[in-house]
Amino acid sequence: DTGVSQNPRHKITKRGQNVTFRCDPISEHNRLYWYRQTLGQGPEFLTYFQNEAQLEKSRLLSDRFSAERPKGSFSTLEIQRTEQGDSAMYLCASSPRVTGELFFGEGSRLTVL
Amino acid sequence: GENVEQHPSTLSVQEGDSAVIKCTYSDSASNYFPWYKQELGKRPQLIIDIRSNVGEKKDQRIAVTLNKTAKHFSLHITETQPEDSAVYFCAAGNDKIIFGKGTRLHILP
Q: Which residue has the higher pLDDT, A99 or A84?
A: A84
pLDDT band at residue B21, thresholds of 50, 70 and 90?
very high
User: Cβ separation of A102 and B34 shorter than 8 Å?
Assistant: yes
Q: What CA–CA distance (Å, rounded) separates A54 from A72?
A: 10
Using alpha carbons, select from B102, B103, B91 the residue that is nearest to residue B30: B91
Using alpha carbons, select from A6, A8, A5, A1 the residue that is nearest to residue A111: A8
Contact A20, A76 (CB under 8 A): yes
Partners of B46 on chain A (C-beta within 8 Å) are: 101-102
Mean pLDDT of B17-42: 95
pLDDT band at residue B56, thresholds of 50, 70 and 90?
very high
State the virtual CA torsion across A6, A12, A15, A18 in degrees, nearest 10.
-40
Backbone φ, ψ for residue B26 (5° rounding): -105, -30
pLDDT over threshold 80, residue A47 = yes
The mean-pLDDT minimum among A3-7, A52-56, A99-103 falls in: A99-103
pLDDT over threshold 80, residue B19 = yes
Q: What CA–CA distance (Å, rounded) separates A67 from A19?
A: 12
Residue A3 CB partners (closer than 8 Å, separation 6+):
A26, A103, A105
pLDDT band at residue B1, thresholds of 50, 70 and 90?
low
User: Cβ separation of A42 and B101 shorter than 8 Å?
Assistant: yes
Partners of A41 on chain B (C-beta within 8 Å) are: 101-102
Q: Which residue has the higher pLDDT, A97 or B107?
A: B107
User: pLDDT tens for residues A18-45?
Assistant: 999 999 999 989 999 999 999 989 999 9
Distance from CA of B65 to the nearest CA of A (A): 18
User: Could you tell me which residues are beta bridge partners of residue B46?
Assistant: B36
Predicted pLDDT of residue B95: 82
Contact B11, B105 (CB under 8 A): yes
- Other beta carbons within 10 Å of A12: 12
Partners of A35 on chain B (C-beta within 8 Å) are: 99
User: Cβ separation of B43 and A44 shorter than 8 Å?
Assistant: no
pLDDT band at residue A99, thresholds of 50, 70 and 90?
confident
Q: What CA–CA distance (Å, rounded) separates A3 from A25?
A: 7
pLDDT over threshold 70, residue A1 = no
Predicted pLDDT of residue B82: 96
Mean pLDDT of B20-43: 95
